[in-house]
Amino acid sequence: MLQFRPIAPEMRELVLRYTAPWRLSSSEYTFTNLLMWGTDGRIKLAEADGALFFLLQYGKQEPFQFAPLTLSPAADYARAVAAAEAYCVQNGITPLFKAISGPIADAFKQCEGYELIEDRDNHDYIYRMEDLLTLKGKKLHAKRNHINQFRARYDYEYVKVTPDMLDECMEVYCAWIACKDVFEPGVLGEMEAIRQILTHMELLGVKGGGVRVDGKLVAFTLGEKINDEMAVIHIEKADASMPGLYSFINQQFVEHEFTDVTFINREEDMGIEGLRRAKLSYYPVTLLEKFEGRRKS
């Protein structure tokens, strides 16, 4: 039986050894994502027979797994899925695999008895870096206006976010969550996720950007390069009462940190209507499709 252990900072090299050969563009398999959302044993890993397995459980939800990764995409992938399924059966868990995309989806299609079901709420939004940087064209005219309004109205400063700014970032987050429904997907546990990513910024290779207005931090964002062509934005929080602030921090973070990539992954919308509208308003070049793997009925 697979022996799962809670995710921990010292597992970074283990995860990278398995993710690197797959050259994934999705956000779920980044070590940052696993660590920040896996606190308190919510994400556990197991390694066996040249494969890495991911077990997740949030609250009272039934556990599920991310699709396993083999050391090589050319390995016997069906064998890894069979091992993951055996663990589920032995523990009374319905076999369910999530975060299936790109080359993992191609491998999963070879697993007999399984079907892939589109998971639209978890598609990643992929943008051209140049589009987010310059905001050129008629489609993004409103975004340019928002930024100009912010620049004209406020005495601002762009700053790099560092771990010693944790308390300031928490203040921004607490102000943000005060206006939110705590039962929205992804809201509960996000404070600890932000704490984890800021605490381990150097280990994770995460970059941070922030905006001060009259000396006070009012927005911050955190992201990293996941390969030579793409960066991913994990966190973005801002004072929504300041017109144009979200557009400004979005553009400034790209300008200061990620002009050396071609694409920016701004992750999923989790099915939240307002978040979906906001992400679509920047006109992604593509949506990275995600699927769930389930046993055929």
Domain that holds residue 22: 5-123
Domain shared by 31 and 151, yes or no: no
Q: How confident is the model at residue 171 (pLDDT cuts 50, 70, 90)?
A: very high
Domain shared by 9 and 141, yes or no: no
12 occurs within a structural domain: yes
CA-wise closest residue to 265 among 20, 29, 26:
26
Domain shared by 105 and 150, yes or no: no
What SS3 string covers 63-125?
CEEEEEEECCCCCCHHHHHHHHHHHHHHCCCCCEEEEECHHHHHHHCCCCCEEEEECHHHCEE
272 occurs within a structural domain: no
Domain shared by 144 and 107, yes or no: no
291 occurs within a structural domain: no
Domain shared by 11 and 104, yes or no: yes
Domain shared by 155 and 218, yes or no: yes
222 occurs within a structural domain: yes
Q: What is the pLDDT of residue 179?
A: 80
Domain shared by 137 and 250, yes or no: yes
Tally of domains in the chain: 2
Task: Report the alpha-carbon distance of residue 170 to residue 191 in Å, rounded.
Answer: 7
The model's pLDDT over 62-98, given as tens digits with 9 standing for 90+, comes to 999 999 999 999 999 999 999 999 999 999 999 999 9
292 occurs within a structural domain: no
The model's pLDDT over 231-289, given as tens digits with 9 standing for 90+, comes to 999 999 999 999 999 999 999 999 999 999 999 999 999 999 999 999 999 999 999 99
Q: What is the pLDDT of residue 34?
A: 98
Domain shared by 195 and 161, yes or no: yes
- pTM exceeding 0.85: yes
The model's pLDDT over 183-192, given as tens digits with 9 standing for 90+, comes to 666 666 889 9
287 occurs within a structural domain: no
Report the SS3 class of residue 236. strand
290 occurs within a structural domain: no
Single out the residue in 67, 90, 123 at which a domain terminates. 123
273 occurs within a structural domain: no
Task: Report the alpha-carbon distance of residue 210 to residue 218 in Å, rounded.
Answer: 8
- What CATH number did the domain enclosing 228 receive? 3.40.630.30
Task: Report the alpha-carbon distance of residue 125 to residue 278 in Å, rounded.
Answer: 11
Q: Where are the beta strands (DSSP E) in the chain?
A: 5-6, 43-48, 51-56, 64-70, 96-100, 114-118, 124-128, 156-160, 207-213, 216-225, 230-238, 263-265, 286-288, 291-295
For residue 86 the two structure tokens come to 């055996």
Single out the residue in 102, 123, 144 at which a domain terminates. 123
Domain shared by 156 and 99, yes or no: no
Single out the residue in 62, 95, 123 at which a domain terminates. 123
Domain shared by 112 and 141, yes or no: no
Domain shared by 52 and 103, yes or no: yes
Domain shared by 62 and 162, yes or no: no
Q: What is the pLDDT of residue 182?
A: 65
